Chains A and B, each alone.
Chain A
Amino acid sequence: MERLFYFLYRYRAFFTFLALEVFCSWLIIENNQFQGAKFFNSSNSFVAGLNNFSQGVREYFSLRETNRLLAEENAALRNSLEQRPHMSLSDSLNQKVDSVLIKRFEFVSAKVVNNSVHRFTNFLTIDKGSSDSIKSGMAVISSTGIVGKVKTVSKHYSVVTSLLNKDVMVSAVLKRTGHFGTIQWNGRDADIVQFNFVPPHVIPKVGDTIITSGFNAVFPRGLVIGTIQNINLGDAALFYDLNVKLSQDFRKLTYVEVVKSNLKTEQDSLELSVEKMNR
């Protein structure tokens, strides 16, 4: 027994080292799960407050760009508003509008207080949290494309897993042909994502638009993700290698919208019950 203690004492530095490293590895693995550690991330109020201040300084440098984007979005909204009267007229003639269709998605605007694009796993922090009834798993979009999914939420802030994260997959559709596949980032270029699992009998063209499929009820259907930049099909490959140029410049994100999907739980539970039946 004495020898054991002596042994432990003699190599105490090594054992401390081992203990700390095991603890760190556990943290890394735990944090890689989609909803990991709740407190120690940039949504905690002290860290987010500091980031908020830092973003407040940086914001001045992108004011012109933000202004332009908002003006463009305004114009687009005004355009769609112009077309609106004809539609509502025909609606009122036909039947009452399906309430489910109208309230299917709700949008909450939020400001980005922290963002990164250069790492393999990128996250952003936004300044809306559980007090605006944001929950983890909700989709985040911007006026020009999709941004990511909410990871963890605190009272006034939430951390969003960016689309530029090796672990995120989004179901998407080739708009022209209607074939679906999966969008995933390979960690290299912040402008390019990969569109996987498109079989060789499809003929994609450079410049084709990729939109969200809406299959998983997280993202609304039909949001633009980007356009195909180059196409590669190996000799015996099962699927195309498609590089998609993102329509959203992630380096310039300032304002985003969080999508509340009111039917998500319903769709999920329905699909789950089917899975159970098949088992």
Chain B
Amino acid sequence: MSRVNILQIVSFFIYLFYQVLILKNIVLFHTAFCFLYVAYLLVLPVETNQITLMLIGFVLGFSVDVFYDSLGLHALACVLIMYARNSWLNALTPQGGYDSNSIPSMSMNGIQWFVVYAVPMVFLHHAVLFFIEAGGFDMFWFTMLKIMNSTLFTMLAIVIAQFLFPYRKRL
């Protein structure tokens, strides 16, 4: 159990620093941003309690905010998707339910299930992020374009990361 926790803590910092030092500088076509750090929140163990999830989401979002000079913005989006995550996981329960101690990663349920699970979460996160940053719905379609492109880019990065570093089925 303690080994699992240490792994989680280490990967927290890897995701965080990879985001703020490298991915922060990558923007495709002026509109597509990559927020790979969301993947860390998505693959937390299934049985994690909702309050813990939200607190982790808050801490990670807040840390990213400090580097992005957008205090509260990422934290708000992360807390929101972490609040919704467990209900969404319940709705997507595969046949026979989740194994105990399993994590909702690609290696557990296959790429199809994972994309269905992750896309709405990433989309929700990006939608909240960009609309708050834009300060309303003044530039609806431009913001929408940013959200779409960023969702595609982030999803691509997440799926590639899942292929490269597959989580074992059980920790």
Q: Which residues of A are at the interface with B, using a C-beta cutoff of 8 A?
A: 12-13, 16-17, 20-21, 23-28, 30-31, 36-37, 40-42, 44, 47, 50-51, 54, 58, 116, 118-121, 123, 125, 159, 166, 186-190
Contact = CB atoms under 8 A, between A and B. Distances in A.
Contacts of B156: none
Given A41-B69, A47-B66, A121-B70, A28 B25 contact: no
Given A28-B132, A40-B66, A47-B66, A20 B79 contact: yes
Contacts of B132: 28
Interface stretch (B6-14, B38-46, B88-96, B133-141): B133-141
Contact of B133 (A37, A51, A58, A120): A120
B71 A40 contact: yes
A187 B72 contact: no
Given A120-B134, A120-B135, A166-B135, A159 B69 contact: yes
Interface in B39-70: 50-51, 54-55, 58, 61-62, 65-70
Interface string B70-114: 111101100110010000000000000000000000000000000
A100 B135 CA distance: 42
B27 A118 contact: yes
B30 interface: yes
B4 interface: no
A27 B30 contact: no
A16 B25 CA distance: 33
Contact of B54 (A17, A50, A125): A17
Given A54-B21, A188-B139, A41 B83 contact: no
Interface residues of B, dominant DSSP: helix
A31 B79 CA distance: 19
A186 B134 CA distance: 10
B6 to A, nearest CB: 23
Nearest to B139: A187
Contacts of B27: 118
Interface residues of B, number: 35
B135 A13 contact: no
The 4 tightest CB contacts between A and B, nearest first, are A27-B72, A24-B76, A28-B72, A31-B71
Contacts of A188: 139, 142
B30 A123 contact: no
B117 interface: no
B79 A17 contact: yes
16 contacts: A21-B80, A23-B72, A24-B75, A31-B70, A31-B71, A31-B72, A40-B65, A41-B71, A42-B67, A50-B21, A116-B68, A120-B133, A120-B134, A125-B69, A159-B69, A188-B142
Given A25-B72, A41-B69, A16 B139 contact: no
Contacts of A24: 58, 61, 72-73, 75-76, 79
Contacts of B135: 120, 166
B33 A118 contact: yes
B72 A17 contact: no
Contact of A44 (B31, B61, B65, B66): B66
Contact of B75 (A27, A116, A121, A186): A27
Contacts of A190: 30
